[in-house]
Amino acid sequence: MKQAFLVFLGGGLGSVLRFMISKPLNPLFQNFFLGTFFVNMVGCLLIGLFLGLSAKGNILSYNNTLFLATGFCGGFTTFSAFAFEKHSFLKNGDLLNLAIYMLSSIGIGVLAVILGLWIAKHI
């Protein structure tokens, strides 16, 4: 039960922070959801860092990893918003920005996870 509460608490904190960051950033560019992109890339970096530190064994406990990686990062990042925003590009016939946003989100996201793991390894 304690572990479920840690995930719940971390997810709530991540969701509130995502809202506070995405709301002002998303309207800045007409054809790019900057807020969602930003939180997803930061979330990729953080989950790489947290899981890398957890893999070291003595830096993050299992409960800390649940709170930070599963809870916080799970609440902070948002695949559902990412998918919905792709639909809006399709609906508007904006295939170029759809491709740019999807490829950059996936490519930079994977690189951010790798960077987070690298940072954790070198701490």
* HEC readout, 33-83: CHHHHHHHHHHHHHHHHHHHHHHCCCCCCHHHHHHHHHHHHHHHCCHHHHH
How far apart CA 47 and CA 53 sit, in angstroms, is: 10
Residue numbers in the known binding site for Na(+) are 74, 77
**Cβ density class 78-103: b for 16+ within 10 Å, e for less:** beebbeebbeebeeeeeeebbeebee
Q: How far is residue 66's CA from residue 59's CA, in Å, rounded to a whole number?
A: 13
Residues placed in the known binding site: 74, 77
